[in-house]
């Protein structure tokens, strides 16, 4: 019988790519998510019955234990960028990660891959970064042989980075940026998935891997590259941090006094703290080279999914070429 992997958050942005690759390796894939009825699309990644979404709440021991019962490996792709309801940073990124590792160890599961993030730091003033580090510590406490992946900002068809800002260009002549000079090292989502699969298959030595693409660029430069891809001209405005701090504070207060009826999906004070720091691979850290993976460039991927934001969509290149025809 083929081996079984349980992927927590297996229908999310990163998790779905890991699920697809693991199915391609011939493994049975159990996709553990909060809403399995919204994750039925993962069943198409393999043959009938090979990939199955199941209900799981990583805040509950019994639910997590049941989800990984009989598994040969586990992958944790669960994380939150913004707290909402009971999905708080501590509950998901610290306690949830520790719970998965603890129960995996109890069940004798040998392989675990944990997706964290560049910037994970137990001493950080950002709760996001601090709980990421706590989650890593919890994983290593129970599964010292785990593979931990720390990607920079991840891009791909379903991302909430380039898609979000490209969408803004449809309604505004301006593109306001907080931390315009902060550096990022964007990494393609399927490259992260490939690294995770190597961890599951035992092809990656235990340890922490920082994953960044081949290009390091400022936030401003990334947005300019995006504008070039979608054939739009917009004024990029670097917003001062003191202005952003006021805006984030007001938005957080509105979220609090409305009992989260109006969630802050724009800019939080915690996100602002992370935008002050470069999000790039540390010098001397293990990375793609140690995994034998050549990361994809932005230039080779962005046009494949950002074309829909062009003035004429998929026909934009044709129309531009037609303008150059001589009559």
Q: In this predicted model, what pLDDT tens digit does every residue of 187-240 receive, in sequence order? A: 999 999 999 999 999 999 999 999 999 999 999 999 999 999 999 999 999 999
What pLDDT sits at residue 326? 57
Query: What distance in Å separates the CA atoms of residue 98 and residue 164, rounded to the nearest whole number?
Result: 31
Q: What pLDDT, on the 0 to 100 scale, is given for residue 163? A: 98
Give the pLDDT score at 318.
Answer: 72
d(CA 290, CA 269): 35
For the cut 80, the answer to whether the pLDDT of residue 315 exceeds it is no
Q: Are 162 and 155 in contact (CB under 8 A)?
A: yes
For residue 97, pLDDT over 90 is answered with yes
In degrees rounded to 5, what are phi and psi of residue 15? -60, -35
Predicted confidence band of residue 186 (pLDDT cuts 50, 70, 90): very high
For the chain, give every domain's residue range.
4-158+185-214+278-295
pLDDT of residue 325: 64
Tokens 């046009």 label which residue? 303
| pLDDT confidence tier of residue 1, bands split at 50, 70 and 90 | low
**Mean per-residue pLDDT, 115-131:** 97
- Quote helix, strand, coil % in the chain, to nearest 5: 45, 15, 40
How high does pLDDT run on average in the chain?
A: 95
111 three-state secondary structure: strand
Other beta carbons less than 10 A from residue 44's beta carbon:
9
The DSSP letter of residue 54 is E
The CATH class, in words, for 4-158+185-214+278-295 is alpha beta
Of the pLDDT bands very low, low, confident and very high (cuts 50, 70, 90), residue 287 is: very high
Does position 324 have pLDDT exceeding 90, yes or no? no
For strands 183-184 and 217-218, give the pairing: antiparallel
What Å distances lie between residue 97 and 93, 141, 230, 252, 302, CA to CA?
6, 11, 38, 26, 31
Relative to beta strand 174-178, strand 235-239 is: parallel
Percent of the residues in the chain that have a pLDDT greater than 70, as a whole number: 97
- The per-residue b/e assignment along 248-275, b for 16 or more CB within 10 angstroms, e otherwise, is beebbeebeeeeeeeebeebbbbbbbbb
Per the rule left: phi > 0, alpha: psi between -120 and 50, beta: everything else, 316 is alpha
């Amino acid at each position: 019988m083929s081996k079984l992997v349980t992927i927590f958050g297996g229908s999310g942005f990163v998790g779905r790519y890991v699920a697809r690759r693991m199915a391609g390796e011939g493994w049975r894939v159990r996709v553990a998510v909060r809403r399995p009825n919204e994750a039925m699309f993962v069943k198409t990644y393999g043959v009938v019955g090979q990939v199955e979404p199941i209900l799981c709440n990583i805040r509950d021991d019994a639910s997590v234990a049941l989800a990984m019962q009989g598994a040969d490996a586990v992958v944790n792709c669960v994380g939150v960028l913004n707290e909402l309801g009971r999905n708080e940073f501590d509950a998901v990124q610290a306690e949830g990660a520790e719970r998965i590792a603890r129960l995996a160890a109890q069940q004798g599961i040998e392989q675990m891959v944990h997706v964290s993030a560049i910037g994970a730091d137990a001493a950080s003033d950002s709760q996001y970064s601090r709980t990421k580090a706590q989650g890593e510590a919890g994983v290593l406490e129970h599964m010292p042989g785990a593979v931990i992946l720390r990607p920079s900002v991840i891009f791909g068809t379903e991302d909430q980075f380039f898609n979000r800002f490209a969408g803004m260009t449809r309604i505004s002549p301006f593109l306001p940026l907080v931390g315009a000079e902060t550096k990022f090292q964007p990494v393609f989502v399927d490259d992260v998935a490939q690294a995770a699969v190597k961890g599951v298959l035992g092809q990656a030595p235990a340890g922490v891997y920082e994953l960044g693409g081949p290009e390091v660029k400022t936030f401003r430069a990334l947005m300019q590259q995006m504008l070039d891809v979608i054939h739009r001209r917009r004024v990029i405005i670097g917003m001062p941090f003191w202005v952003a701090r006021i805006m984030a504070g007001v938005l957080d207060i509105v979220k609090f006094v409305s009992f989260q009826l109006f969630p802050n999906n724009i800019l939080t004070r915690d996100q602002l703290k992370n935008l002050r720091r470069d999000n790039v691979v540390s010098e001397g850290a293990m990375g793609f080279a140690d995994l034998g993976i050549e990361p994809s460039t932005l230039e080779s991927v962005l046009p494949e999914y950002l074309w829909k934001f062009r003035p004429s969509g998929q026909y934009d290149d044709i129309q531009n070429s037609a303008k150059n025809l001589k009559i």
